[in-house]
Structure 1
Amino acid sequence: MRWLPRFDPPRLLAAQMELIDHSFGIAMLGCFLASLLMALGVLISTGNPGILAWSALMGAGCAAGHFGRFYLPDRLSEANAPRYARAMTMLLVVLGSLWGIAGGLYMDLNFPPTAISLLSMIAGMSAAALAIFSPCLPVAVSFFIPSILPVWGVFLATGNLAYLPMFLGVPLFLVVLLVFALNYARVARRSIELRFENRELVDQLREQTGRAAQALHEAEEANRAKLVFLASASHDLRQPMHALGLFLATLKTTALDARQDELLEHIEASASAACEMLDTLLDFSKLEAGVIEARPRQLALQSVLYKLECEFAPLANGKNLVFRVRESAVQVYTDPSLLELILRNLISNAINYTQSGGILIGCRQRGEHLLIEVWDTGIGIPAAQQQEVFREFHQLGNPERDRRKGLGLGLAIVRGLAHTMGLTVGLQSRPGRGSVFRLTMPRLTGPATMEEAVSSAPRQLPLQAVPILVIDDDYAVRSAMEALLGCWGCRILTVEGADEALDCLDSFQPQVVIADYRLRGNQTGQQVLKQIYQQLGRTLPSIIMTGDTAPNRLREAQSSGAVLLHKPVDAAALYGSLQQLLSAV
């Protein structure tokens, strides 16, 4: 397979395969379940039983990959990692080819539901492969190419110029995947190299205790590199997720049958799960950047508790746990969104680590303070670990680093947010008996006031014919933005960069500008907005979108005066930001 890039040296390759191996089992299960779902859809739609044999082959391949790896002795060692990597590459060539064969055999362009289902599944599996297998570039590429090229061939074979967007869009999607995979592989490689360097540094420190000051400097640099890695990885993964979210929001506005609605719900659920992990990384990076500011106001605590009950009660019920929220009439003076984020992390932790019993959320007064408490009957936390659990990436009961159990950032975010708000977080726990987390804040007295909430509600303005200029160097994002804003009735002009944006101002007068933060030529959306303001001689309502979570980048983007939205941007958040900007004009 000379068309694949070469593997890295054994030491790097072993670490890369270790990253992939952690999520390989769930990847194989997801691949088989997706094929089974696809087979049922095609069988119901066309009545072709051959698709069941295809799904069976896919299941056999996924099972062979998952269980077969355990028969490779020391598969993650430097000596055997190349053999493991070659075997996984060959397996993904087979699985990718099976998806490609499905596209070639069963994608009937005369029957849109089947074609849409196959395209969605292949695109979704490619995005999942990007997230899981990109640490080792040859492994990721071995899936992308055989799964996508046959689909392109189906459109080319028609010879119908009506499919010209797909003639160009399918190879463009493949190229985008390859570019993102290359970027992420580079970031992962550098992170692994830094880890090796850190290990060597620790060995040197043990031998040379007199170099403590230099060692501290090196440790700080390693921590900075970790944050850069998190920010870069988050940005590269947010780009395709951002475009996917916008396309899904646009697709929901079209007429779909019941089967298509069901498929759309599954795709949205998968995208939402990926976004949750990226949002956790973003919350942590924003704390590290120091760009979170508390905006306290008076509110009734029960409104926050009720919202959290509606969100988490179904999750607890799904695990047969009792979930109770004690009603409260107290008033608090705090930032409602940050308070909600703290409690959301605490409740999510409680549900994750509780297998029987239940969770109780309530509050009680103690002097001039209010204690908001989250009780659980979970596994508990040993006394020696009760301070460690608030460190980033520290998890209990997850030695295998299963990412389905989170990233180990929830309590670090809780501690950082509480510090930002001037609050304290306490913990009491007994192993095997459960835990209680207490958030202490000032107590207010008096009836609830609604004037502030009413006055702050933005006026709902129509977006019909509102001229909007979109600046983004990513073709998929521009296409998605054009489709979504068009559904809202806006007049849209999309451009790649500063030169095109400035040239169009004579013939197109935008009312709102939406710019990506990172543009080609080392330009930023902030710089382009300044050039537009200078040419027009006035400022415009503007939105900057970014998938970059690096602390310096967040501070720079926030200082521009534009509304800052983080990719992947939810359609409702984008709509609300446009309403906010237009209401302020």
Structure 2
Amino acid sequence: MFDYPNGLVYVGRPIADLIRYNAERGECGPGEVEEHVSKRLRHMRAGTAHVFQRERADGSVLEMRGQQLPGGGFVTTFTDVSDYKKVELALLEANETLEQRVAQRTAELSAALEAQEFARCEAQSANQSKSRFLAAASHDLLQPLNAARLFTSALRHQPTLDAESAQLAERIDTAFRVAEDLLESLLETSRLDAGKYRPEPADIGVAELIEPLVQQFSLLAQRRGLEFRVIPSRAVIRSDPHLLRRILQNFCTNALRYTRKGRIVLGIRHVGDDVRIELWDTGPGIADEQLQRIFDEFHRVDGASPWGEQGLGLGLSICERIARILNHQLRVRSWPGHGSCFAIQVPRVRIRARDEASVPRRSMLVGDLRPQHVLCLDNEPSILEGMASLLTRWGMSCDLAANRTEAFDALLRRRPDLILIDFHLGTGPDGIEVLGELLKHCNPAPPAALITADASPELKQRARALGLPVLLKPVRPAALRALLSSFARRSGGPAPVLDETAKVEPATSEATGVD
């Protein structure tokens, strides 16, 4: 350790010589050599215990411990503690810089979180901008599309229409229907991605859930020579009726699009505590390698529709998103060349036999329309004209109003059996507010429905709270006819009576925002 020369250390050598040798080489620190020797000899004679460390010229550190022996004498040990001191120094430096490093790391994390939050806000803002754009675009696009579909539907019901013109009208209506389906699919995908849908579970009878599907699709199936069969069920399930029905609508649309002949069957199976709603078709089926991809966006299976229809590949993707929101399980099975079965599993509600009467159920058939007088309020003249053309073909009479003032004038002229009103009427009161004013002057109040291109959950919730049915633009003639038929079945009594004692004060054009 001290690298003593040969012959320096031997038994009997005075300890003072060794101390002096170390002092001369600087091992004892600065100062006079003899002073170092004298001090250490005094410690030894006095038996003073000591411990100290000294850093040598080469950077190593020695620890020296001196202690008196029990039988006389004194022992000194020298230990190289260089590695220990390095670790100790590193720990000291670590402790000294810990706060600084923690502050630095905290600043880095804060910066990263701020960047992440900024990116999230940017993405959210972009998504909201996209949603606002699509909502605005949808209203502007759906308005003329709605009017066009009403006109084509009225044209197809012309009794004097020749075969060639009827075929042309059918093709025009098909083209509009395809455009409508594509636009609605894009808008619905955007709303799902933006998290606009909030499930509102309720107990609902399967019959009540399926009835609108029968009304919507049975006529199309009949025209295509397909049997559309529904297996009756008294089961009650727990789900969001609107969202679940949307899934079943997409199932039916796909089945009708790809099935050339045979039948489509809609029914249920009991699976433990659940109900599985199944739609079977006799279409071309889907190959096994395609089954895992049919729920991907914009994916379309091989094979064209025998009816010339072409989807966008979003229908089943929308089903998958909605099922995820509802926490329901989707299932598909297919047999190429024979058909497919699409199903969704829903919780079943167990009810006692005597409670079944309280479960809402309605007839599964759409009744014939009886003559009714309809008040139509919409600020788009083309839609009013199309609605009038269609309603008169169905044996209805109607008054048309483009604003609140005209609606009150029409109400004074003739009492309506029902009211169809648009939600966006310009810069004045909205359709729900105007409808509330109109209904105050009728006793009893006639049934009414809201017609709008606004598919926001807020509006639907507001209408639901008032018991107001909502038809989304572009209005499907079959859906409108089904609604009118349901009104006719419910209101078999006399027409509502106008409250002649009420003072009717139509608003001015300035108040309604009408030019």
TM-score by length of 1: 0.47
Shift of 1:545: 0.6
Map of 1:107-506 to 2, 5 A cutoff? 210-251=114-155, 252-281=157-186, 283-284=188-189, 285=191, 288-290=196-198, 296-298=204-206, 332-334=235-237, 341-343=246-248, 345=250, 367-369=272-274, 376-380=286-290, 393=297, 395=299, 404-406=310-312, 408=314, 410-417=316-323, 419-420=325-326, 423-425=328-330, 439-442=344-347, 455-456=362-363, 460=367, 463-464=370-371, 466-506=372-412
Q: CA deviation at 1:463?
A: 3.6
C-alpha RMSD of matched pairs (Å): 5.3
Give the letter for the 1:259 counterpart: E
CA contact (8 A) 1:365 1:371 kept: yes
| Structure 2 counterpart of 1:216, one-letter code | R
5+ residue gaps, structure 2:
1-108, 259-263, 303-308, 335-339, 492-515
Indicate the SS of the match to 1:376.
Answer: coil
Normalising by structure 2, what TM-score?
0.53
Matched residue type, 2:126: A
Any conservation in 2 of the 1:472–1:515 contact (CA below 8 Å)? yes
Q: For residues 556 and 493 of structure 1, do their structure 2 counterparts lie closer, same or farther at Cα, with a shift above 3 Å needed?
A: same
C-alpha separation in 2, matches of 1:458 and 1:308: 11
Q: Is the 2:418–2:448 contact (alpha carbons within 8 Å) kept by the matching residues of 1?
A: yes
Within 1, Cα distance between the matches of 2:425 and 2:210? Answer: 44
For residues 441 and 229 of structure 2, what CA distance do their matches in structure 1 show?
57
Give the AA of the match of 1:376: I
Partner of 1:14: none
Over the matched positions of the two proteins, sequence identity in percent amounts to 26
Per the alignment, in what secondary structure is the counterpart of residue 483 of structure 1?
helix
Q: Does 1:529 align with 2:435?
A: yes
In structure 1, list runs of 5 or more residues that go unmatched: 1-204, 318-322, 354-358, 430-434
Distance 1:488 1:380, change over 3 A: closer
Given that 2:146 and 2:475 are in contact with CA atoms closer than 8 Å, whether structure 1 keeps it comes out as: yes
Distance 2:231 2:484 in 1: 35
What secondary structure, in the 3-state scheme, does the structure 2 residue paired with 1:296 have?
A: strand
| One-letter code aligned to 2:120 | L
- Distance, in Å, in 1 between the alignment partners of 2:205 and 2:387 is 35
Alpha-carbon separation, structure 2, partners of 1:341 and 1:397:
21
Counterpart of 1:94 in structure 2 is none
- The CA distance in 2 between the partners of 1:381 and 1:256, in whole Å, is 44
Give 3-state SS (helix, strand or coil) of 2:116's partner.
Answer: helix
Alpha carbons 1:369, 1:441 under 8 Å: kept: yes
Deviation at 1:566, TM superposition (A): 1.0
d(CA) in 2 for partners of 1:313, 1:569 = 19
Cα distance change on mapping 1:455 and 1:476 into 2, 3 Å:
closer
SS of the residue corresponding to residue 473 of structure 1 reads coil
CA distance in 2 between partners of 1:328 and 1:345 (Å): 19
Q: 1:583 to 1:436 in 2, by over 3 A?
A: closer
Q: CA deviation at 1:444?
A: 9.1
Tell me how far apart the structure 2 counterparts of residues 504 and 363 of structure 1 sit (CA, whole Å): 47
The match for 1:563 is 469
Instruction: Specify whether residues 368 and 290 from structure 1 end up closer, same or farther in structure 2 by C-alpha distance, changes over 3 A only.
Output: closer
Whole-angstrom CA distance in 2 between matches of 1:272 and 1:498: 31
User: What is the Cα deviation at residue 450 of structure 1?
Assistant: 11
Q: SS at 1:255's partner residue?
A: coil
Aligned mates of 2:136, 2:333 — CA distance in 1: 37
Equivalent residue of 1:412, what SS? helix
- Write the mapping of 1:97-116 to structure 2, written as runs, cut at 5 A: none
CA separation of 1:371 and 1:486: change in aligned 2, threshold 3 A:
closer
Question: Separation in 2 of the partners of 1:311 and 1:418?
Answer: 31
In structure 2, relative to structure 1, the CA distance for the partners of 1:547 and 1:482 (3 Å cut) is: same
Greater fraction strand: 2
Q: Residues of 1 paired with 2:315 and 2:346: CA distance?
A: 23
> Conserved in 2, the CA contact under 8 Å of 1:291 and 1:554?
no
**What is the rounded CA distance, in whole Å, between the counterparts of 2:364 and 2:331 in structure 1?**
35
Q: In structure 1, what is the Cα distance between the partners aligned to 2:196 and 2:248?
A: 20
Q: State the alpha-carbon separation in 1 of the partners of residues 408 and 216 from structure 2.
A: 46
Distance 1:545 1:524 in 2: 12
